Each structure stands twice: as structure tokens, then as C-alpha cells.
């Protein structure tokens, strides 16, 4: 009987620790956004800390040049003046290379910061991965990070057609319900 109890406790502890680890991996509203540094399409290194004092819309997307990703990028690009008015920057992350990002931006006339996470570290930090036909890619998730580096909103599996408008509305709501300034 004692061996059954030991086995049960061992299974519980192992399973419980595994569950806690998996749960802790997903950044949630109110926690500090995980720091990172990644190369952008222009080859420069971009860090989350570079944007302290600004709101950051950190969006993860699956693949350069695909239909949904192109729509989402164009919508964020279209709304850039509105993000600037709200003291916000938009930064995209995928597991594509800087060369892929550069070609995508050139072909589509984009000037957003697109970051290359070819080692899949940041997509994993933000629990933003998915498997597509046996290949790990970024999931379409977005995090709104306040000027102090705290996550204020988290979106999973977003609709690229309406997401930029949704994020702008969230930034306005955050201004109304927070002491954190939206504009400088």
C-alpha cells in the first residue's frame, strides 16, 4: 500500500510541476513582458527595452507573404499615424529570416519593424508557437505592453482583417481606465 502512495505522490508532483511550468510560460496581463533582442529586416538589433516610455504592440505572425500575414501587416501599416498619436509602436515577430522580412517589406511597401526569431526563442517566451504541417511557426498572437514594460492585453488567434482596429480601440480603453499616459 505504501508503494502505491509513493507512486501516486510522485505522479502528482511530476504532473503538477509540469502543469505549473506550462502554465507559467504564457505571459499574462499584469506581468512584466519578457525581454528580448532580435534582428530586424534592416539588420539592426531591436530590443523591447528600446521602446520604454512607449506603448508596444508586439504581434506574432506565421509567415511572410502569406495572405493573412500580408493583410495584417498592411492594416498595421495603414494605421501607423494613429499608433503614433497614441505614443505606440508596432513590432512584428515571426520565425522567418531577416532576408525574408526584407523581401516581404520591399514587395509590400511596408516600413514596420519586423523581427526575425529564427531560433524560436522569443515565440516560445511568449507562448506563441504552433505546428503547421510538421513545422514550428509563430502563432498569430498579440501583446499590448505599456510604457513601463507590463503586459496590458493579450490576444490569441486574432483575425488579421480587423485586428489593428481592435488594438487601437484597446489602447483608447487602456487610456480611459489607467493612470498610464497614452500620449506624451
- Residues 6 or more apart whose CB falls under 8 angstroms from that of 70 comprise 108
Mean pLDDT of all residues belonging to the chain: 86
The answer to whether position 182 is within a domain reads no
Question: Cell digits for 78?
Answer: 495603414
pLDDT interval class at 180 (50, 70, 90): low
Query: Is 69 labeled as catalytic in the residue annotation?
Result: yes
- The number of beta carbons lying within 10 Å of the beta carbon of residue 35 is 11
Q: What is the pLDDT of residue 118?
A: 97
Spatial contact of 123 and 114, defined as CB atoms under 8 Å apart: no
pTM strictly above 0.85? no
pLDDT interval class at 148 (50, 70, 90): very high
Spatial contact of 118 and 138, defined as CB atoms under 8 Å apart: no
Flag whether pLDDT at 16 surpasses 80: no
Domain of 153 in residue numbering reads as 2-176
The answer to whether position 183 is within a domain reads no
Q: Which of 56, 58, 69, 138 is catalytic?
A: 69
The closest alpha carbon to 83, from 111, 55, 61, 105, belongs to 55
Flag whether pLDDT at 144 surpasses 90: yes
Q: Is the dihedral of CA 147, 153, 155, 160 positive or negative?
A: negative
The answer to whether position 45 is within a domain reads yes
Q: What is the pLDDT of residue 157?
A: 85
Flag whether pLDDT at 35 surpasses 60: yes
The closest alpha carbon to 34, from 165, 123, 156, belongs to 123
- The number of beta carbons lying within 10 Å of the beta carbon of residue 10 is 10
The answer to whether position 181 is within a domain reads no
For the chain, what is the domain count?
Answer: 1
The answer to whether position 56 is within a domain reads yes
**Of 61 and 29, the one with more pLDDT:** 61
The answer to whether position 6 is within a domain reads yes
The answer to whether position 141 is within a domain reads yes
Flag whether pLDDT at 183 surpasses 70: no
Spatial contact of 154 and 177, defined as CB atoms under 8 Å apart: no
Q: What CATH number is attached to the domain comprising 20?
A: 3.40.30.10
The answer to whether position 46 is within a domain reads yes
Amino acid at each position: 500500500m505504501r508503494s502505491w502512495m509513493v507512486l501516486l505522490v510522485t505522479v502528482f508532483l511530476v504532473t503538477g510541476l509540469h502543469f505549473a511550468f506550462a502554465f507559467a510560460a504564457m505571459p499574462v496581463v499584469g506581468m512584466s513582458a519578457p525581454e528580448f533582442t532580435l534582428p530586424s529586416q534592416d539588420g539592426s538589433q531591436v530590443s523591447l527595452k528600446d521602446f520604454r516610455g512607449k506603448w508596444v504592440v508586439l504581434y506574432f505572425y506565421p509567415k511572410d507573404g502569406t495572405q493573412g500575414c500580408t493583410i495584417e501587416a498592411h492594416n498595421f501599416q495603414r494605421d501607423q499615424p494613429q499608433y503614433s498619436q497614441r505614443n505606440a509602436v508596432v513590432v512584428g515577430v515571426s520565425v522567418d529570416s531577416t532576408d525574408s522580412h526584407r523581401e516581404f517589406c520591399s514587395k509590400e511597401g511596408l516600413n514596420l519593424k519586423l523581427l526575425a526569431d529564427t531560433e524560436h526563442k522569443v515565440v516560445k517566451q511568449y507562448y506563441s508557437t504552433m505546428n503547421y504541417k510538421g513545422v514550428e511557426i509563430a502563432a498569430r498572437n498579440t501583446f499590448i505592453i505599456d510604457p513601463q514594460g507590463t503586459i496590458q492585453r493579450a490576444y490569441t488567434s486574432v483575425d488579421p482583417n480587423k485586428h489593428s482596429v481592435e488594438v487601437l480601440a484597446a489602447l483608447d480603453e487602456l487610456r480611459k481606465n489607467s493612470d498610464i499616459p497614452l500620449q506624451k
